[in-house]
Amino acid sequence: MSGPANFDEMHEPDGTVRAPYREYARWLDEQDPGWARRKGFEAESVFRRTGITFNLYGGEEAEERLIPFDMVPRILSSSEWRRLSRGIEQRVRAINAFIHDLYHRQEIVRAGRLPEELLRHNAAWLPQMVGLKPPGGVYTHILGIDLVRTGPDEFLVLEDNARTPSGVSYMMENRETMMGMFPELFTRVNVQPVSNYPRRLAKSLAACAPECAGDKPAVAVLTPGHYNSAYFEHAFLADQMGAELVEGGDLRVVDGRVQMRTTRGFRPVDVLYRRIDDAFLDPMSFQPDSVLGVPGLMDAYRAGRITIANAPGTGVADDKAIYSFIPEIVEFYTGERPLLPNVETWRCADPESLKYVLDNLEELVVKEVHGSGGYGMLIGPTASKRDIRQFRAKLEAHPENYIAQPTLALSTCPVFTNKGLAPRHVDLRPFVLVSPQGVEIVPGGLTRVAMKKGSLVVNSSQGGGTKDTWVLSE
């Protein structure tokens, strides 16, 4: 999708540079013609040397790839960021209250504001969490809120990531790469830092430790292992936080406490930042054949002897059918109107919505309710007649598995191409930390960019890349 409807974040319609980009544009004009190509090669070698890759699944074997990195930063003014932050904090507080309610009195269901069948048929809703209140009352310790922009003041939430949001390591490495390659640029443009994220994460997680923890709670990152597509990030965060990186086999429950193997024997873990799915956490409570988790983990959790971040069962808030109710959820738990609106969404389980979607498939984006990563979706305007025909059959057979949204005119940012700067569509994933001490939002986040001309799909698994995201200081 392209044309005059797209808002360009760097340039006004008349070609002049928007205020947040002016100093950057002046600096860019001073560079020589061969600069972009030289620096592009340099950035790629940095990423290769650091090992910043992801696994692309779909063929017979997983393929390891570099995520394309573009050197033009995505820049937000301090006033734009303040407005976004208020909306994100409101949404995150509502989501945490919502998850607590779902596992306790379900007041929102009793009030008729959320259909009970959305929980009854939802695999992410865990009966094992009913009546359980995690230490500090926090369910969603780390969130990623996916935002899109359609105009100067129009930001919309595309998706909530409340289970195990990923990508923060790319945010940090993008910044480190930019500062290493263009140190003089950061003396001219006053950009808010993101490098303190691991310290803030460690502090936030420690603040959620159970009462049995000592003065210095022990934090560990639970990874499925080095074959996982996000293993680089697991190892990166553990190292940066000064936390232990552990696999299920390194942990066991001793005297009611989860303990990790060390060179000095087993030591208690107070906070487990898990990067594995709910089903694999504890073979005694969930999937019996899981070798990734810890037998007895949920018993220790129920006894209040360990914090699991994020709490099991938070994935219910990632559900795209639940997403469509977030405006009502925000109002119900905060008494306020949402500061950040949702994208208009049709729930295909509703017969009238389904009819509208089937009649307008060529114009809509259709997504699986439990889907992620850009897989299993239809983008009507770019789909073939065969794709549309196949999706129509899927919708008619299982409408409850799908939602549909309009094809938005996503904002664009320039990227470097062989022919110079060219606009490409972007989204933004800010990262949010929640603890009993409050909500913290990292000033920036991960900007994902559709590297192909006209493409609206920004996921790395579908060929998307990333940019450094700058939030300007006052």
For the residues of 424-460, what is the DSSP string, one character each? EEEEEE-EEEEETTEEEE-SS-EEEE--STT-----G
Q: Is the pLDDT of residue 1 over 60?
A: no
> At 17, which amino acid appears?
V
Is 366 part of any domain?
yes
- Mean local confidence (pLDDT), 58-70: 61
pLDDT of residue 20: 97
Asked if the structure places residue 326 within a domain, the reply is no
Distance CA 456, CA 380 (A): 11
230/286: higher pLDDT: 286
**b/e 442-463 (16+ beta carbons within 10 angstroms → b):** bbbbbbbbbbeeebbbbebbbb
Q: Is residue 11 part of a domain?
A: no
State how far the Cα of 219 lies from the Cα of 206, in Å rounded to an integer: 7
Round the average pLDDT of the chain to a whole number and report it: 90
Under DSSP, the state recorded for 31 is S
Confidence of residue 44 (pLDDT cuts 50, 70, 90): confident
Q: Is the pLDDT of residue 36 over 80?
A: no
Rounded to whole angstroms, the Cα distance separating 63 from 46 reads 20
Give a yes or no: residue 361 inside a domain: yes
How does DSSP classify residue 191? B
Q: Which domain holds residue 380?
A: 347-407
Q: Is the pLDDT of residue 444 over 50?
A: yes
The predicted model gives 234-253 an average pLDDT of 96
Mean per-residue pLDDT, 72-101: 97
* Mean pLDDT value of segment 119-146: 94
> What total number of domains does the chain contain?
1
Q: Which two tokens stand for residue 184?
A: 């003089």
Mean pLDDT of all residues in 439-451: 95
Asked whether 162 and 140 are in contact (CB, 8 A), the reply is yes
Question: CA angle 154-155-161, nearest 5°?
Answer: 165
Residue 3 has pLDDT above 70, yes or no: no
- Which residue type does 349 have? A
103-128 average pLDDT score: 93
pLDDT band at 382 (very low <50, low <70, confident <90, very high): confident
Please name the residue ranges forming H helices in 150-230.
168-181, 183-188, 197-206
pLDDT interval class at 4 (50, 70, 90): very low
pLDDT at 123 exceeding the cut of 80: yes
pLDDT at 460 over 70: no
Flag whether 40 is in a domain. Answer: no
Q: Cα–Cα distance between 216 and 223 in angstroms, integer?
A: 22
Residue 158 has pLDDT above 50, yes or no: yes
Ramachandran quadrant class, 137 (left: phi over 0; alpha: psi -120 to 50; beta: rest): left
Residue 362 counted as domain residue: yes
Mean pLDDT of 4-28: 92
Q: Quick check: is 16 in a domain?
A: no
- For 306-354, write each residue's pLDDT tens digit: 999 999 999 999 988 899 999 999 999 999 999 999 999 999 999 999 9
Q: List 441's β-bridge partners, or say none.
A: 432
Per-residue exposure over 78-109, b if at least 16 CB sit within 10 Å of its own CB, e if not = eebbebbbebbbbbbbbbbbbbbbbbeeeebb
pLDDT of residue 63: 52
Q: Is 378 a member of any domain?
A: yes
pLDDT value for 59: 43
Res. 239: pLDDT tops 90: yes
Domain with residue 351: its CATH number is 3.30.1490.270
**What is the pLDDT confidence band of residue 461, given thresholds at 50, 70 and 90?**
low
pLDDT at site 57: 41
| Structure confidence by residue, pLDDT tens digits, 392-413 | 999 999 998 899 999 888 999 9
pLDDT at 320: 87
More confident: 338 or 262:
338
Q: Which of 41-55, 343-357, 377-391, 439-453 has the lowest mean pLDDT?
A: 41-55
Structure tokens at 467: 């940019």
For range 232-249, the mean pLDDT: 95
Q: Which has the higher per-residue pLDDT, 290 or 229?
A: 290
For residue 268, give both structure tokens.
């208690």
Q: What is the pLDDT of residue 53?
A: 53
**pLDDT computed for residue 375 by the predictor:** 64
